[in-house]
């Protein structure tokens, strides 16, 4: 670091390093809560902000709104001074402002920064000198400089001198027991070298390894590359699944065999489509921004097209399986197993399971679902079912014309499902041995 730090920068860094700082986390969800827990764990006081008053109430009552985070951890965080609020006038209390709000797509499949913008509108009148603002939400390269920095400039603060601005993308993997907020390396880019130094001091208190890059734009593009890498490879393996199906070749056998190569190959597994808040969405942030530079992202968009066709393909396999049993899809009773976008979590955002359910319903099937992580079908912007989760008993499983395994939760009794279901449509490769009542999808 070659920059000469201002006295304000040195004071802010000192507060982070001696743990006298208060940390403000804006957005108390799958990213914000684990981050709050980690800051509290090392002895820093956290003030959490959220516009959802029920979420604020839950956390202040010591309840956990996320199933894989026990309430005991929320209670422990409260004992170190954690408090949640929807009062953004309290922003001056904190030394670091970390934004962890969603960045979805609009109905036109374009970036929707409304949550980021509304957050900045809420805090703009309360920013003060000496604070660090860090954006963790996934976005297009240039957002930190082009969208956030003008709010700071309008406040009369000077970025890099008396206020500090960085981009440090979240890398949470909900439900993954092998990696934690502390152990996942943190990429960070600052608007100036001084901003980077202050940001490194903040995250260095809670993350084992912080990886600096040269700019906020480089950090923003890093996050997009990580998730586009997954999107493209999942698109590839989904296309290979279609080819294997036509050729009568078990794609899972092929993947397992290829994975024995000790170099040059990383196994990805097919499924009913892409889900979650990142992988189905992030590629569109880059393709949208790339058009500004006259670049066509054909490779990225092709992978997206393949992945978006998967729910329709799953439904076609349901129809084929029923047809072989002299049943029509229309009027058949179908049970969707799992509506979360990945196993053992309750997050249903962008879940391909829900898209499969909608296509089945649109084609005349009677659709219900079972998911231990979603007892009531959640409120969603684009999807609506007035349903509650069905308990899996021998009688209920046997009562459906087909069950479609969409999310392979470990809580499901797969032996019972295999024994009692008339027809299983397996989109996750859970049933590897050929069985007369199992159809791969």
Name the H helices within 272-333: 282-292, 298-308, 310-324
Q: Could you give the CA distance from residue 166 to residue 176 in angstroms, rounded to a whole number?
A: 27
Which of 100, 195, 278, 348 is an active site residue?
278
* Longest CA pairwise span in the chain (Å): 78
Inter-residue contact 357 to 369 (CB < 8 Å) = yes
Cα three-residue angle 156-143-158, rounded to 5 degrees: 20
Instruction: Supply the DSSP symbol for 225.
Output: H
Place of tokens 């892409």: 274
Q: Is 288 exposed, middle or buried (0-12, 13-18, 19+ CB in 10 A)?
A: middle
Strands of the sheet containing 438-440, edge to edge, are 366-370, 333-337, 402-405, 424-426, 438-440
**N-term to C-term CA, the chain:** 53
Inter-residue contact 12 to 132 (CB < 8 Å) = yes
**Helical (H) or strand (E) element with 360:** helix 352-362
Instruction: Supply the DSSP symbol for 340.
Output: S
Q: Could you give the CA distance from residue 116 to residue 104 in angstroms, rounded to a whole number?
A: 10
C-alpha dist (Å) from residue 163 to 13, 47, 103, 156 = 12, 19, 24, 10
Inter-residue contact 314 to 245 (CB < 8 Å) = no
Sheet strands (E) in 41-185: 45-49, 83-85, 96-99, 132-135, 164-167
Q: Is 290 exposed, middle or buried (0-12, 13-18, 19+ CB in 10 A)?
A: middle
Q: Tell me whether residue 100 is one of the annotated catalytic residues.
A: no
Q: Could you give the CA distance from residue 80 to residue 292 in angstroms, rounded to a whole number?
A: 47
DSSP labels, 260-278: TSSSS-------SS--SSS
Q: At what angle do helices 32-41 and 71-79 cross, to 10 degrees?
A: 50
Q: Is 199 exposed, middle or buried (0-12, 13-18, 19+ CB in 10 A)?
A: buried
Instruction: Supply the DSSP symbol for 283.
Output: H
Q: Which residues are catalytic?
A: 278
């Amino acid at each position: 670091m070659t920059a000469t730090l201002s006295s304000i920068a040195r004071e802010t860094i000192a507060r982070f390093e001696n743990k006298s700082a208060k940390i403000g986390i804006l957005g108390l969800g799958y990213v914000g809560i684990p981050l709050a827990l980690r800051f509290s764990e090392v002895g820093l006081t956290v003030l959490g902000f959220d516009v959802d008053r029920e979420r604020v109430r839950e956390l202040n009552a010591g309840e956990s709104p996320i199933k894989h985070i026990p309430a005991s951890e929320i209670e422990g965080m409260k004992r170190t001074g954690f408090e949640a609020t929807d009062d953004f006038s309290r922003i001056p209390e904190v030394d670091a402002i970390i934004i962890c709000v969603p960045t979805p797509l609009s109905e036109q499949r374009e970036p929707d920064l409304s949550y980021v913008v509304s957050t900045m509108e809420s805090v703009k009148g309360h920013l003060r000198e000496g604070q660090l603002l860090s954006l963790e939400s996934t976005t297009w390269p240039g957002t930190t400089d082009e969208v956030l920095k003008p709010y700071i400039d309008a406040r009369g603060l000077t970025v890099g001198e008396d206020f500090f601005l960085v981009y440090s993308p979240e890398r949470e993997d909900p439900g993954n027991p092998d990696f934690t907020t502390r152990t996942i390396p943190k990429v960070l880019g600052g608007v100036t070298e001084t901003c980077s130094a202050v940001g490194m001091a903040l995250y260095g208190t809670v993350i084992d390894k912080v990886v600096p890059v040269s700019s906020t734009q480089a950090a923003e593009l890093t996050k997009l590359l990580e998730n586009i890498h997954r999107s493209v490879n999942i698109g590839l393996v989904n296309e290979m699944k279609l080819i294997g199906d036509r050729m009568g070749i078990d794609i899972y056998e092929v993947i397992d065999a290829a994975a024995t190569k000790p170099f040059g190959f990383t196994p990805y597994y097919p499924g009913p489509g892409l889900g979650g808040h990142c992988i189905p969405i992030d590629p569109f942030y880059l393709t949208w921004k790339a058009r500004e530079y006259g670049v066509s992202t054909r490779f990225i968009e092709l992978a997206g097209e393949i992945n978006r066709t998967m729910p329709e393909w799953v439904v076609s396999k349901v129809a084929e399986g029923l047809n072989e049993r002299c049943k029509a899809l229309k009027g058949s009773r179908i049970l969707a197993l799992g509506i979360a976008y990945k196993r053992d979590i309750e997050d249903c955002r962008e879940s391909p399971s829900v898209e499969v359910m909608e296509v089945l319903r649109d084609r005349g099937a009677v659709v219900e679902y079972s998911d231990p992580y979603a007892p009531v079908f959640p409120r969603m912007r684009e999807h609506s079912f007035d349903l509650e989760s069905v308990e899996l008993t021998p009688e209920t499983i046997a009562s459906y014309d087909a069950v479609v395994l969409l999310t392979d939760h470990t809580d499901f009794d797969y032996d019972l499902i295999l024994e009692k279901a008339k027809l299983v449509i397996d989109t996750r490769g859970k049933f590897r041995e050929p069985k007369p009542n199992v159809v791969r999808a």
